[in-house]
């Protein structure tokens, strides 16, 4: 087999994929726990065994667990795996960003609760979709969507679980949608940082991706460093029956030569949360060094496997 077909699963909002040591690791929003699947091939993820790597009984963070993201990061305890996620007590305004600490080798854990990421001094403000940017000099930054205004913010990380200094709001165009900006994800290449973010209510068919960018040498905590890309970079594809593509992540092919985007989208044109399914496809780069994500492919369309994918029939 040299191809696979989307979706990876029938349901799985806010998908995230990491390729590590011969395996794809996949997680997504499951609301009351954090699931993870592992497989040798992208084509096998849908049938891979799913394990729960985290469940919580603390009343302030035991439900509405959203948008888990997996990273291998250096910290005071050496290099370890960390899971960033959003959770609440069941009240939407009480959503906050949290982090778990795992082991040096296995992305599946076990994990221990490390703490809440303090995104405002008095812990009064809603915060979701925590994402970590690590610059070439090793400095780390937390990006997230927060209030007021459901906008994108950035703050320095002293270590994987501790914010330091003031948070900074980044202006990001909504291209005519309401004031929702969420799911910030950094993509780095050739001295530039591209910050891709989701626009609009995720239940709407017009959910889509926009992009800011800056140079690696810029101060990412200075809003003036960020340039706005003049148009959305990934949008609905009516001809292919794809609506609301967004809340994405990025990963490399197993051989490291290709860039891939993972995202959720729907196959219905009306407002809906329950049909968001995880999908993947490769993307390229323009001659000017900026990413070209193309258009989301239709469900059932044959997509070639990532370069170096080791899927073997009857293995």
Residue 310, domain member (yes or no) = no
- 14 as an active site residue: the answer is yes
Q: Is the pLDDT of residue 262 over 50?
A: yes
- Mean local confidence (pLDDT), 50-60: 96
* Per-residue model confidence (pLDDT) at position 119: 83
Q: What range does the domain containing 202 cover?
A: 3-304
Q: What is the pLDDT of residues 118-129, one digit of tens each?
A: 888 777 889 999
> Would you place residue 312 in the very low, low, confident or very high pLDDT band (cuts 50, 70, 90)?
low
Whether 274 is covered by a domain: the verdict is yes
Q: How far apart are CA 49 and CA 46, in angstroms?
A: 9
Per-residue confidence band for 1, with pLDDT thresholds at 50, 70 and 90: low
**Is 315 a domain residue?**
no
**Domain containing residue 172: CATH number:** 2.115.10.20
Count the neighbouring beta carbons within 10 Å of the beta carbon of residue 124.
8
Q: If you average pLDDT over residues 301-314, what whole number do you get?
A: 83
pLDDT of 121 reads 76
3-class state of residue 12 by DSSP: coil
Report yes or no on 148 lying in a domain: yes
Q: Flag whether 309 is in a domain.
A: no
Per-position b or e across 200-222, b if 16+ CB within 10 A of its CB = bbbebbbbbbbbbbbeeebebee
Question: Which residue is it, tokens 């069941």?
Answer: 90
117, HSE (Cβ side, Cα atoms, 13 Å): 40
Please say if the pLDDT value at position 209 is more than 60.
yes
- What mean pLDDT is predicted for residues 142-154? 95
Tell me the average pLDDT of the chain.
95
Percent of the chain past pLDDT 90, that is, above it, reads 93
Domain membership flag for residue 312: no
Give the mean model confidence (pLDDT) for residues 153-177. Answer: 96
Known catalytic membership, residue 222: no
Q: Is the pLDDT score of 174 beyond 50?
A: yes
Looking at 101, 182, 206, 309, which residue is catalytic? 182
- Residue 266 confidence (pLDDT): 98
Residue 184 above 90 pLDDT?
yes
In the set 14, 44, 206, 259, the catalytic residue is 14
* 314 assigned to some structural domain: no
**What is the number of structural domains in the chain?**
1
Residue 313 lies in a domain: no
What are the counts of helices (DSSP H) followed by strands (DSSP E) for the chain?
0, 22
Euclidean distance between CA atoms 280 and 123, whole angstroms: 36
**294, pLDDT greater than 70:** yes
Does pTM top 0.75 for this prediction? yes
Residue with tokens 């926009």: 210
| pLDDT, tens digit (0-9, with 9 covering 90-100), for 217-234 | 999 999 999 999 999 999
Is the per-residue pLDDT at 197 higher than 80?
yes
């Amino acid at each position: 087999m040299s191809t696979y077909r989307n979706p990876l699963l029938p349901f799985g909002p806010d998908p995230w994929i990491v390729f590590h040591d011969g395996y794809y690791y996949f997680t997504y929003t499951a609301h009351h726990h954090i699931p993870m699947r592992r497989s040798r091939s992208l084509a096998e993820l849908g049938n891979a065994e799913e394990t729960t790597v985290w469940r919580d009984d603390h009343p302030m963070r035991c439900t509405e667990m959203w948008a888990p993201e997996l990273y291998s990061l250096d910290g005071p305890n050496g290099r370890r795996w960390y899971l960033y996620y959003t959770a609440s007590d069941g009240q939407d305004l009480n959503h906050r960003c949290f982090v778990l600490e795992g082991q040096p080798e296995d992305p599946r854990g076990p994990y221990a609760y490390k703490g809440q990421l303090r995104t405002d001094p008095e812990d009064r403000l809603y915060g979701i979709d925590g994402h970590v940017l690590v610059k070439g000099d090793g400095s780390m930054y937390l990006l997230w969507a927060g209030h007021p205004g459901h906008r994108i913010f950035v703050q320095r990380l002293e270590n994987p679980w501790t914010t330091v200094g003031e948070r900074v709001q980044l202006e990001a165009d909504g291209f005519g949608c309401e004031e929702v900006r969420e799911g910030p994800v950094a993509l780095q290449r050739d001295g530039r940082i591209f910050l891709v973010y989701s626009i609009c209510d995720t239940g709407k068919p017009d959910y889509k991706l926009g992009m800011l960018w800056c140079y690696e040498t810029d101060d990412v905590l200075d809003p003036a460093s960020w340039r706005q890309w003049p148009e959305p970079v990934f949008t609905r594809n009516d001809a292919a029956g794809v609506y609301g593509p967004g809340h994405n992540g990025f990963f490399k092919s197993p051989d490291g030569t290709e860039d891939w985007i993972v995202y959720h989208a729907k196959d219905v044109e009306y407002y809906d949360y329950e049909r968001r399914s995880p999908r993947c496809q490769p993307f390229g780069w323009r001659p000017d060094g900026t990413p070209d994500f193309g258009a989301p492919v239709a469900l059932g369309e044959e997509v070639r496997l990532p370069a170096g994918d080791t899927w073997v029939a009857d293995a």
